[in-house]
């Protein structure tokens, strides 16, 4: 009996495991370095900070487990009072959050002002924007000189209107506002550029149609333009909130937390506790950082949720 042999349709050499699973494996090979770096320097440290915040630790010797004692001391749970410095820092953070948001309408205002096509407007736009590119350290220095009681230009200007000199950064009730104003300068520039880009993409037909219907000025802005600027507003909101909670450079450069600790915010207070010359209190610092993290987390979840909605809508 003879059997007809089935011709061998397989390729001569068996393909390697990688070749067969290429599409499944490649993304992980490409992701590996980024994930490794990100995990080591960002993800794992978040967990470690939680752990450290439950200890008392000077950064060198052995850490002692203290449970939630750091948090109790910060928030004043039980017998003790709330940490006064923490309280000041927290309320300053709230001031930063609220006042920093002014950058969004201010940026929109300047963008509307500059959204014209006269000669040289491009140069104006870049010159209005470029404070954003300057490092916050230099912005801080520039503004602290601007505010100087004797040499500063600000006092010279308000002197023209007959007001006496004010020492903004030396006055505990004004210093924080002075720093926030300095921070608003680059932040407004950023929001402006976002809105300029957004305005560029506004649908001209809708604007014309609204004009024919008699819409103009504020009503046009509110009902026709702003809805189309929603993506720009979202990004402006995200970067402004993050900027407000990250405020550190300006405070460190302009007042170093003073006068009398009145300009501290959580991020600065945390740094001071952990690495100050009075000794390293890493555990206490980490506890402050954890609280700051939770404030941020509320916003992060909102941002991610919005982005997730977008992702699903986009598919």
- Give the footprint of another protein on residues 95-114 (CB under 8 A): 112-113
- Specify the pairing of strand 55-56 against strand 64-65: antiparallel
- DSSP secondary structure code for residue 39 in this structure: I
Residue in 20, 304, 306, 309 binding another protein, rule: CB under 8 A: 304
136 counts as binding another protein under rule CB under 8 A:
yes
In the bound state with another protein, the residue whose beta carbon lies nearer, of 80 and 105, is 105
Q: Is 22 in the site for another protein (CB under 8 A)?
A: yes
**Closer of 102 and 112 to another protein (Cβ):** 112
Number of Cβ atoms within 10 Å of the Cβ of 25 = 13
User: Which region among 5-13, 44-52, 66-74, 164-172 touches another protein (by CB under 8 A)?
Assistant: 44-52
- 211 Cβ contact partners less than 8 Å away, ≥ 6 residues apart: 220
Give Cα 292 to chain centroid, integer Å.
Answer: 13
Interface with another protein, residue 309, by CB under 8 A: no
C-beta separation of 169 from 144 below 8 A: yes
Least CB distance to another protein at residue 191 (A): 10
Q: 169-188: which residues touch another protein (CB under 8 A)?
A: 185
Pair 183, 247: CB distance under 8 Å:
yes
In the region spanning residues 212 to 271, those forming contacts with another protein, defined by CB under 8 A, are: 216, 220-221, 224-225, 231-232, 235, 238, 242, 245-246, 248-249, 252-253, 266-267, 270-271
DSSP run (H or E) holding 55? strand 55-56
Q: Is there binding between residue 130 and another protein (CB under 8 A)?
A: yes
Q: What is the CA radius of gyration of the chain?
A: 28
Q: Which member of 207, 258, 259, 262 binds another protein (CB under 8 A)? A: 207
Is 198 or 261 the residue whose CB approaches another protein more closely? 198
Alpha-carbon torsion, ordered 82, 85, 91, 92, to 10 deg:
-170
d(CA 28, CA 125) in angstroms, rounded, equals 43
Report if residue 85 touches another protein, rule: CB under 8 A. no
């Amino acid at each position: 009996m003879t059997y007809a042999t089935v011709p061998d349709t397989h390729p001569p050499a068996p393909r390697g495991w990688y070749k067969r699973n290429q599409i499944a494996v490649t993304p992980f090979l490409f992701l590996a370095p980024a994930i490794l770096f990100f995990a080591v320097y960002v993800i794992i440290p978040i967990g470690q900070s939680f752990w450290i915040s439950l200890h008392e630790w000077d950064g060198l010797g052995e850490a002692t487990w203290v449970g939630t004692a750091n948090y109790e001391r910060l928030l004043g749970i039980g017998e003790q009072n709330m940490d006064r410095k923490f309280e000041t820092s927290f309320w300053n953070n709230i001031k930063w959050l609220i006042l920093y948001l002014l950058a969004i309408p201010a940026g929109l205002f300047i963008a509307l002002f500059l959204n014209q096509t006269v000669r040289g407007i491009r140069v104006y736009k870049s010159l209005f924007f470029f404070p954003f590119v300057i490092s916050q350290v230099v912005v801080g220095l520039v503004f602290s000189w601007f505010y100087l009681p004797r040499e500063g230009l600000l006092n010279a200007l308000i002197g023209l209107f007959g007001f006496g000199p004010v020492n903004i950064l030396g006055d505990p009730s004004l210093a924080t506002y002075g720093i926030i104003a300095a921070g608003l300068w680059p932040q407004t520039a950023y929001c402006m550029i976002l809105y300029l880009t957004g305005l560029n993409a506004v649908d001209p037909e809708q604007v014309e149609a609204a004009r024919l219907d008699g819409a103009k000025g504020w009503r046009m802005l509110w009902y026709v333009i702003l809805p189309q600027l929603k993506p720009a507003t979202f990004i402006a909101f995200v970067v402004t909130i993050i900027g407000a909670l990250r405020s550190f450079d300006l405070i460190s450069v302009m007042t170093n937390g003073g006068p009398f600790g009145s300009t501290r915010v959580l991020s600065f207070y945390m740094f001071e506790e952990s690495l100050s010359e009075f000794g390293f209190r890493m555990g206490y610092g980490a506890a402050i950082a954890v609280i700051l993290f939770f404030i941020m987390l509320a916003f992060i979840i909102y941002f991610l949720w919005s982005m997730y909605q977008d992702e699903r809508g986009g598919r």
